[in-house]
Structure 1
Amino acid sequence: MLSRFFTVAVVMAVQVIAGMTKNGTRCTVTPSGSNDDSGFIMDAFKQCGQNGQIDIVEGDYTIAKVMDVLNLKNCDISIRGKLTWTTDVNYWTKNSIGVTYSQRSTAFRLGGDNFSLRGYGKALFFGNGQTWYDVNKNGSNMAGRPISLTLWKAQNVFIDGITWRQPQFWHTFVAYSQNVTMTNLDMSAVSNSQWNTVNTDGFDSWNSKDITIKNWSVTCGDDCISIKGNSSNVYVKNVTCHESGAAVIGSLGNPTTVPDYVDNVLFEDFTAIHSSNAAWIKTYPGVGHVKNVTFRNFVFQDVNQPIYISPCIYSYRNCDASKLKISDITWENITGTSRYNVAAGIYCSKSTPCTGLKFKGIDIKPKNGGSAKVLCSNMNSDSGLGCTGTCPAGWVQQLSGNA
């Protein structure tokens, strides 16, 4: 009888402490042991998301529903547990939240004013991405495939100390936001099947400004850090990119009739390992401009095409029609090995040539020896880059051998 009473008491105690509890302005979430903890987390956001504290303590949490919170205010959120998103592709493709950009959507969206999201090096976002990589079969933009974390109409935000593994799609997306700092983040998308981790970007910004990124490690199947349209005042420092596009401006200019602008971006202290590109700009043949961008202190190994500019990305057609002006771009202290014999492929639109390009301390050598080619077209002649030949129109982003 005593043993039975003890068992019942333990079960009741577990029920009491599991889920969400509120004490004043502090909400504490603990693992429920159920097949969905998202409701408890959303309840914490609802009750303590304004002028409060939310603690998601250590343990394993299952996320089976979309989490969307856009009214955070003066709130500190700490996550020390592992959040695992379910593999219910049918649910996510039907219910993920649209974020406007290129028909993308997200599984977790936060917005508001003056809030923090801290992982203390313990938070783990596990997206069960292998399911998505296999379903997509090297496809890119499956409708409803969700971005892991989106900041939407957020301002005065601090994010720190979170680890991602196997995200469903992009790791992070920042849109319509201002004054965002994201530090000490660790991201990785790696497939264990025949299908690749296509379009698993580390970071993308869009219609946002005053962004700081520091101390990131990213392994992904696409762009590592990508600055997209209408982004300005972005500072990115101390990032290591594996198997990715490293530091990129773009893609911009799509739709081709809607202006896209990028201003005042500094990438510095980058390491790129076995990546597709290192320091580059890609646009569609659209309208707008890219101005005042610096790539500084890049070290890389085995990068397909380290320096690259294209005004007609992906289609590689209609390149000279682009009115999207690229100007005042600096590459400084760019050192490493290229996969093939091309260090730079720069093609600017004939109708809108690149101006104010500057190169200092460029030292790129083919990993298999020989001399590196530097191909340039329709750019200023006083750039400081020792061009060895012209770059053909429609020069591709990925090379498959020596030029």
Structure 2
Amino acid sequence: MGDFCQASEEMPTLEVPAGKTFLLKSVSFSGPCMSKNPHVLIEGTIVAPNSFDSWDDDDYEKWIGFTAVVGLIVDGGGRFDGRGEAWWKACNDNDSACSKRRQALHFNKCNGLRLSNLHHVNSQKGHICINACDDVEVSNLQILAPDESPNTDGIDISESNHVNIHDSFIGTGDDCIAINGFSTSINITGVKCGPGHGISIGSLGKDGAYETVEEVHVKSCAFKGTQNGVRIKTWETGSGYVRKITFEDITFVNSENPIIIDQQYNPNGNRGGSGIKISDVTYRNVRGSSADEVAIALNCAGKAACTNIVMDNVKITSSNPGKQIRASCNNAKGTAISASPTVPCLSS
């Protein structure tokens, strides 16, 4: 991070001033830093190049990256504009340029990260990636991309612990938040999602990988017009586990697949594997409307199955007046204290 990272004061600040717009190519900042709390203050606007030939060819992973910057603070009320329209079109046209898309903000091994009060729009690919970080606070973000923009996840989390995301609005063309392998103690509260593919755990276990996720708590979140609501997705060929998951005080408005577990995700048709075990998943005080006939889908594999699935005060109705909705389940075991529609594989 150059002179900024080597500054000896308690909180050195790299400032993007208000009222200014800056065009920025790929850039990476690496620690360790001398300061305990380096501060990036974004009050203005940072925009990405919007043509393929304006980028360097040596980094197709990220637009702005931070590695091993401990105690990093990024805030200020400013805006990141990824100007991703050309890349979305390339993906829709099966153009090779699609593979050169970059995630907008990438944080790797940034323990103690504090990210807040920022606007993120139109990333080429995912907007924010949090990888191998511990003790992370994310709040008061607005993340936006059109619902037809491919793979523009709001926040991707992987190999990270003790991540707290709250009081944010995310509407994109893919997952609002995706929780990937080897992540634990993830708390998501007060997030509004839509459009997008909901809040997802997974997918996990691709290409036979062993992956785990546990202690995820999603509370007081709202979904409007999303393709999915709260979802757990694992590859049939993988191994590992997902456990101790809670979805509480959740609302849906015209969402497809409000509650879905897909333990047999297998778009390539490959078979086999021990499966990723899913257990101790609770849905409590969940309500709202489903755009699909199947409002609750528990598609669990025969080998691994899903155990101790709890539905406690779940009430979902159709968003189409007069239409009936139902639950679908396979190889799921647990308890339904109060669930509408009735979930036939769970005991009352």
TM-score by length of 2: 0.89
Quote the residue 1:300 is aligned against. Answer: 252
Q: Is the 8 A contact 1:320 1:351 kept in 2?
A: no
Q: Distance in 2 between matches of 1:178 and 1:138?
A: 39
1:65 to 17, 25, 37: 25
Compute the displacement of 1:273 (Å): 0.8
Quote the residue 1:168 is aligned against. Answer: 124
State the aligned residue count.
335
Q: How big is each residue's C-alpha offset from its partner over 1:81-130, in whole Å with a ceiling of 9 and x where there is no partner?
A: 10011113245472335xxxxxxx111111321121112x2x10011122
Quote the residue 2:145 is aligned against. Answer: 189
Quote the residue 1:269 is aligned against. Answer: 220
Compute the displacement of 1:387 (Å): 2.0
SS at match of 2:113: strand
Q: How big is each residue's C-alpha offset from its partner over 1:213-270, in whole Å with a ceiling of 9 and x where there is no partner?
A: 01110110010011111000000000011111222111111131x2101010100111
Compute the displacement of 1:45 (Å): 3.8
Quote the residue 2:283 is aligned against. Answer: 331
SS at match of 1:142: helix
Compute the displacement of 1:54 (Å): 1.9
Q: Is the 8 A contact 1:269 1:296 kept in 2?
A: yes
1:126 equivalent to 2:86? Answer no
Which deviates the most, 319-328 or 105-114? 319-328
Quote the residue 1:116 is aligned against. Answer: 73
Q: How big is each residue's C-alpha offset from its partner over 1:17-38, in whole Å with a ceiling of 9 and x where there is no partner?
A: xxxxxxxxxxxxxxxxxxxxxx
Which deviates the most, 294-303 or 71-80? 71-80
- 1:3-402 aligned within 5 A: 45-46=4-5, 48=7, 51=10, 52-71=12-31, 72=33, 73-74=35-36, 75-92=38-55, 94-96=57-59, 105-111=61-67, 112-119=69-76, 121=77, 123-137=78-92, 142-190=98-146, 196-256=148-208, 258-285=209-236, 286-315=238-267, 317=269, 321-368=273-320, 369-384=322-337, 385=339, 386-388=342-344
Q: Is the 8 A contact 1:343 1:373 kept in 2?
A: yes
Q: Is the 8 A contact 1:113 1:156 kept in 2?
A: yes
Q: Distance in 1 between matches of 2:200 and 2:283?
A: 12
Which deviates the most, 315-324 or 216-225? 315-324
Q: Distance in 2 between matches of 1:218 and 1:115?
A: 23
Q: Distance in 2 between matches of 1:142 and 1:211?
A: 30
Q: Is the 8 A contact 1:311 1:322 kept in 2?
A: no
Quote the residue 1:101 is aligned against. Answer: none
Q: 1:232 to 1:92 in 2, by over 3 A?
A: farther
Compute the displacement of 1:187 (Å): 0.7
Compute the displacement of 1:313 (Å): 2.2
Q: Distance in 2 between matches of 1:380 and 1:332?
A: 17
Q: 1:367 to 1:138 in 2, by over 3 A?
A: farther
Point out where structure 2 has 5 or more consecutive residues left out of the alignment: none
Compute the displacement of 1:167 (Å): 1.4
Q: Distance in 2 between matches of 1:130 and 1:49?
A: 41
SS at match of 1:114: coil
Which deviates the most, 107-116 or 52-61? 52-61
Compute the displacement of 1:302 (Å): 1.0
Percent identity among equivalent residues?
Answer: 24
Point out where structure 1 has 5 or more consecutive residues left out of the alignment: 1-41, 98-104, 391-403
Which deviates the most, 360-369 or 174-183? 360-369
Q: Is the 8 A contact 2:332 2:345 kept in 1?
A: no
Q: How big is each residue's C-alpha offset from its partner over 1:32-56, in whole Å with a ceiling of 9 and x where there is no partner?
A: xxxxxxxxxx656455498522222
CA RMSD of aligned residues (A): 2.3
Q: Distance in 2 between matches of 1:113 and 1:345?
A: 41
Q: What amino acid maps onto 1:311 in structure 2?
A: Q
Q: Distance in 2 between matches of 1:364 and 1:146?
A: 38
Bigger Cα Rg: 1
Q: 1:156 to 1:202 in 2, by over 3 A?
A: same
